[in-house]
Amino acid sequence: MMESMSTERISIPTDSGDVSGVYTRPEGADATVVVAHGAGAGMDHPFMAGYCEALAGLGIAALRFNFAYMEAGKKVPDRAPKAIPVWAAALAEARRRSEGEPMWAAGKSFGGRMASMAVAEGAMDAAGLVFLGYPLHPAGKPENLRDEHLYGLRVPMLFLQGTRDTLATRDLLEGVVTKLPTATLTWFDDADHSFAVKGAKRAPHEIGGSLAAPTAEFIRAQRD
């Protein structure tokens, strides 16, 4: 753990109303990662907290936030035209609090897909993208790929993916990534869409935290 670190709950103004966030900043942070949650669980899920806390422990600031639907207690995720402006507002808030370090966008499943769409549409400017389980297609529907917008992206991209993820068939995701010159794909053996491994008893907080090191390594490699 870093010797000097601050964590605060914040409110982020967006066109859809204020949304909650948690901002954790270690002293001397050399990058910031803004992190969006998946479709079914908000920013306070232990997976999200564990990931962001571990990033901060590695010297990277992190801001996790809620989408508007989650803030309102709704279960159905916002569609892209509503989710993307919230993403952009969260990244802008992180940039406002930064000391000029690179701003990265990361997300669990839905949150990562929305980040990539926001960058592809020019709604926000991120140094790179980190996908914590990219939902390439709906479960059981590999024919419905969500990849078209990815091919226009030029920023560094890191795909962290479980080999048992039912939302990203291995051969299909590898086929997509081979067509993305700035992308790196890292597989986690026997992990599902939540990165849980059958037979391995790990709490979600620990699982999320385990993804921080490969994230930090990738981010710093882009500056070397």
As a dihedral over the C-alpha atoms of residue 110, residue 116, residue 122, residue 126, rounded to 10 degrees, the angle is 110
Residue the block writes with tokens 């000391």: 99
**Mean of all residue pLDDT scores within the chain:** 96
* Partner residues linked to 104 by β-bridges: 33, 128
- CATH number of the structural domain spanning residue 153: 3.40.50.1820
pLDDT band for position 224 (50/70/90)? low
Condensed to tens digits (0 to 9), the pLDDT of residues 122-152 reads: 999 999 999 999 999 999 999 999 999 999 9
In the predicted structure, residue 1 carries a pLDDT above the cut 90: no
In the predicted structure, residue 42 carries a pLDDT above the cut 60: yes
State mean pLDDT over 47-73.
97
What domain count does the chain have? 1
Domain encompassing residue 97: 5-221
Condensed to tens digits (0 to 9), the pLDDT of residues 174-210 reads: 999 999 999 999 999 999 999 999 888 899 999 999 9
pTM for this entry: 0.96
Please report the pLDDT score of residue 198 as a whole number.
87
